[in-house]
Structure 1
Amino acid sequence: METVMRTKRENEFIENQIEQDTQYANWVDYRESHFGNYREEFGDIYTYMNKKHPQFTDTPNALMKTFLESKKEDIEKIKSSTTGKAMQSYMSSKRLMYLYEDVLEKTLEDCKKKDPDFNNKNDDEKLQSMNELVTKSPLKVKIRVNQKLEEVKDEIEEELNTLQVIGCGGQAGKEESIDRERALQFLQMMKKNSMVKKIMEQAGKFINTAKHKIMTRCKGNEDVIGIELGDDLQRILPTEIAQLALPEFEFLQTLKFVQKEMPQYEKESGESKTIGDIVVALDESGSMKIDDNIVKAKALLFGIMEQAKHDNRKVQLVGFGGKDEHYLVKDLTMDKLLDVISVFKNYGYTCFEYPLSTAIEMCGKHSDVIFITDGYAPISERLKADVEAAKENLNVKIITMQFGCVCNEDLEKLSSSFNTTWSLFTDKALS
């Protein structure tokens, strides 16, 4: 018995979603053998989470309808991230289906207590008895749903935010950054890897801030001619964008943004000159574990990837530590990035010669080098000259993100933009 109206084509699509998820498909087959309407009930939840205005049938399953209408505020909050998005709808439906199973089994126990002959009834009679019980006592079901949803709603939101960040399961017709199977694997791995979980939590909170902080290049940028009011996120002043993360300023800043009254950099009109690759040099030395700096640094990578995608630019990655400790990832994709954030190299010490020279060699005209480190290392005079030549001849910009309080005078002099990140990622900003 369908509870939420859907077409035959929609049923076929839902079934295809389940079959692609082999492990879950096996579970569905097992449950179907015990509860004959399992697939149909999953379809009810999926359709409810995916459609903006789902409609109930004239003869709904009372338990399913009550389940979906319980804890309305939390369900609607989840729906705001799933409506029209296949992958998000699927993942949230799996979670909610597990809750529904628990509520269903407890309701069946109630039916058995009330009617000793319940097990001898056929499926239709059992459903009728259960509907009558739920209709008479809906509050009991709602209390159970509320208790169970309270336990898992944060995990559901965490998975949905992760899918949003990695670019999976978006609107129909929009190109996805990563395929469905890889996303499922990553979500499973994230549950077991605490560092990855932390990275994704911060990526979700700071993706826009990170994009702005990294890509706003004012020092030495001839295009900036003044300050104006507007709503261009990429040109809003750093002080304004940072306040968006603070609860006491969130409402005011959001209002200013909606009314297009945010102070932002005014630029000369004309075609953008930022057309080269983005080359990221990422410090993976052991000291980056202090204060979770490696977590914050890798969270910033998602902002870089999002901005690069928006500007149709390629991203190259140079991971580094000591003199002979480094790796190179050419043409970084979201799939490759998930591998990068899954492992911390924990290199022994810090050397700037290899990553900086390699980054410069990879630059073309109008490229950006984003240098992320918490350490200090000397820079040879020859390398300084090569960097200055790239800046002069290729219009390369060196954007440094410095964690901690280490003095990097040589690196700061070479940088077009030198940013200390500790204030952006304080506990207050993350609250």
Structure 2
Amino acid sequence: MNAEELRKLFDLDRPLSPSPSSAEDSTTSPFSSPSPSTTPSGNPTALQVDSWGLRRGDDLLRDSPRLQSFALDEYAIADFHTAAFEPEPQLLDDCQDPARRAFLVELFQTPEYQALHAGTRLDEVSSEITTLHFAEQFAALRNASATAEPEIATLKAVSRAVLAAREEVDQCREAITALGGGLGPGTPGSVDPKAIAQLFQRVRQDPTLRRICELAGRYRRLAQSSQRRKCAHGQDDLVGVTTSGDLAQLLPHELVRLGIPELELDTLRRLAERQCLARDYQSLEPVGKGPIVVVIDESGSMAGDKVQTAKALALALAWIARQQRRWCGLIAYSGDTGERLLSLPPTRWEESEVLDWLGAFLGGGSTLDVPIVELPWMVEQLWAPPGITDVLILTDAICSIPPELQQNFLAWKSLVSARVISLVLADTAGDLATLCDEVHLVQSLEVTETALGSVLSI
């Protein structure tokens, strides 16, 4: 590494945003249109940006072809990233690009930006998404023809930028949460911004994955409600105080803070980040819990919306398994066509493997699209600790199972203390009803189905 590379590494090759007194020494901004004989006055950035912020703007511009298409320089990108990332972005008195400063002034005055900023500050992934939308709308505003009411045009551009950023940030959070990752304090999973961004790009570009993650959020919220209503042994044992986002368990003084205007926003932020003080209950289980195993029929008849909703439900059950500190096994099966297994430990998931499992589809099928014969060795392949095993089977098949196979399955079920529940997308379950503890005949897997509440309360 030579001296020039070392200076660049430590941001010694460029100063902070210059003050107005040194503006005459700054380089010409590509956004202004000065005469050839004059240099623009003011700062190249509209916000107070340190060396790291300038370097981040340069990196984002260099790495993003979409940002490059807007024909903005690194100072503009640094401004928009600072507006999203920094906890308290500060406007400078003047800027070489008055239009950009006017855009940011209007932006900071909107309550929608304040709500968005509460979730993007100090969050690299959300800030990058927000930067892109701020830059896109500012570039469109700058390239638009002059209007008689520039302030109205700026306000409309700001509104579009905030709404688009809010929507995509929410989609990103929903997708990463569905895949077992997390954004923000106290959340499990990957914290590498590049890895999270790559996962979200993959989800956004694949309609099937995007639909599954969207549905998974609905099922997870239903699961949270079902788990709260469930009676658990040991819930009366208060053992201390912990940090949580469960509103029902918050300490009284945290609830009082919600009613104080000066403290409300900060409390809501900590609630969203699961950092509020809450009661810590000890739940004692008389016996060990084994894995939660989700078996999805991937025969050709399940293609489309059926398998997408089934996989979204599987993600919600995987979330329950993690909350209960249990292993989870995801099994896709299609008779003689084959099977796909994914083992999810209660600690860390490999999000890319989860996406691979969600995105694939076997198709095909045979006379028996439920792994009655294969399920015992499939459960062994999960390498989960022994204990009471919950098995959920999702299929649209009307099964005809020979008596010998039924007896073998029932013997295995008794041996491993398995509880088997089936959701059958048909008018009858056939012989599957004799093998299961519960069978629910449903027309769809919409969250309004009563049977789903029972399934998600395991």
Whether TM-score is above 0.5 comes out as: yes
The equivalent of 1:306 in structure 2 is 319
**Of 41, 46, 69, which aligns to 1:3?**
46
Judged with a 3 Å threshold, the aligned counterparts in structure 2 of structure 1 residues 8 and 314 are, in CA distance, closer, same or farther, namely farther
Counterpart residue identity of residue 399, structure 1:
I
Judged with a 3 Å threshold, the aligned counterparts in structure 2 of structure 1 residues 93 and 304 are, in CA distance, closer, same or farther, namely farther
Judged with a 3 Å threshold, the aligned counterparts in structure 2 of structure 1 residues 422 and 330 are, in CA distance, closer, same or farther, namely same
In the alignment, is the contact (CA less than 8 A) between 2:373 and 2:405 conserved in 1? no
| CA–CA separation in structure 2 for the residues paired with 1:189 and 1:72 | 32
| CA–CA separation in structure 2 for the residues paired with 1:155 and 1:94 | 11
Judged with a 3 Å threshold, the aligned counterparts in structure 2 of structure 1 residues 216 and 404 are, in CA distance, closer, same or farther, namely farther
State the Cα RMSD in Å. Answer: 4.3
The equivalent of 1:348 in structure 2 is 365
Counterpart residue identity of residue 2, structure 1:
T
The equivalent of 2:134 in structure 1 is 96
**Of 189, 194, 212, which aligns to 2:207?**
194
| Residue 296 (structure 1) shift | 0.6
Judged with a 3 Å threshold, the aligned counterparts in structure 2 of structure 1 residues 381 and 40 are, in CA distance, closer, same or farther, namely farther
The equivalent of 1:82 in structure 2 is 120
Counterpart residue identity of residue 46, structure 2:
T
Q: Is residue 396 of structure 1 aligned with residue 418 of structure 2?
A: yes
| CA–CA separation in structure 1 for the residues paired with 2:206 and 2:81 | 28
Q: Is residue 335 of structure 1 aligned with residue 352 of structure 2?
A: yes
| Residue 294 (structure 1) shift | 0.9
The equivalent of 2:103 in structure 1 is 67
Q: What are the superposed Cα offsets for residues 247-306 of structure 1, whole Å, 9 maximum, x if unpaired?
A: xxxxxxxxxxxxxxxxxxxx995247454233221111122136x111111112322332
Judged with a 3 Å threshold, the aligned counterparts in structure 2 of structure 1 residues 16 and 370 are, in CA distance, closer, same or farther, namely farther
Counterpart residue identity of residue 43, structure 1:
A
SS of equivalent residue, structure 2 residue 294:
strand
| CA–CA separation in structure 1 for the residues paired with 2:49 and 2:324 | 39
Gapped runs of 5+ residues in structure 1?
114-132, 235-266
| Residue 320 (structure 1) shift | 0.7
Aligned length: 356
The equivalent of 1:425 in structure 2 is 446
The equivalent of 1:42 in structure 2 is 77
The equivalent of 1:376 in structure 2 is 398
| Residue 394 (structure 1) shift | 3.3
| CA–CA separation in structure 1 for the residues paired with 2:442 and 2:365 | 23
SS of equivalent residue, structure 1 residue 206:
helix
| Residue 99 (structure 1) shift | 1.7
The equivalent of 1:280 in structure 2 is 294
Judged with a 3 Å threshold, the aligned counterparts in structure 2 of structure 1 residues 167 and 225 are, in CA distance, closer, same or farther, namely closer
The equivalent of 1:256 in structure 2 is none
| CA–CA separation in structure 2 for the residues paired with 1:274 and 1:177 | 29
The equivalent of 1:205 in structure 2 is 218
| Residue 322 (structure 1) shift | 1.9
Judged with a 3 Å threshold, the aligned counterparts in structure 2 of structure 1 residues 212 and 148 are, in CA distance, closer, same or farther, namely closer
| CA–CA separation in structure 1 for the residues paired with 2:116 and 2:333 | 40
In the alignment, is the contact (CA less than 8 A) between 1:42 and 1:93 conserved in 2? yes
In the alignment, is the contact (CA less than 8 A) between 2:126 and 2:169 conserved in 1? no
The equivalent of 1:322 in structure 2 is 335
**Of 429, 432, 436, which aligns to 1:408?**
429
**Of 144, 151, 170, which aligns to 1:138?**
151
Counterpart residue identity of residue 293, structure 2:
V
- More divergent stretch after superposition (4-13 vs 420-429): 420-429
In the alignment, is the contact (CA less than 8 A) between 1:280 and 1:371 conserved in 2? yes
SS of equivalent residue, structure 2 residue 216:
helix
| Residue 416 (structure 1) shift | 4.1
| Residue 338 (structure 1) shift | 0.7
SS of equivalent residue, structure 2 residue 290:
coil
The equivalent of 2:18 in structure 1 is none
In the alignment, is the contact (CA less than 8 A) between 1:166 and 1:177 conserved in 2? no
Q: What are the superposed Cα offsets for residues 357-379 of structure 1, whole Å, 9 maximum, x if unpaired?
A: 44454563233322222222234
Tell me the TM-score normalized by structure 2: 0.62
Q: What are the superposed Cα offsets for residues 324-362 of structure 1, whole Å, 9 maximum, x if unpaired?
A: 432223447322111122232222344222453444545
Counterpart residue identity of residue 367, structure 1:
T
In the alignment, is the contact (CA less than 8 A) between 2:233 and 2:284 conserved in 1? no
| CA–CA separation in structure 2 for the residues paired with 1:224 and 1:422 | 37
SS of equivalent residue, structure 1 residue 313:
coil
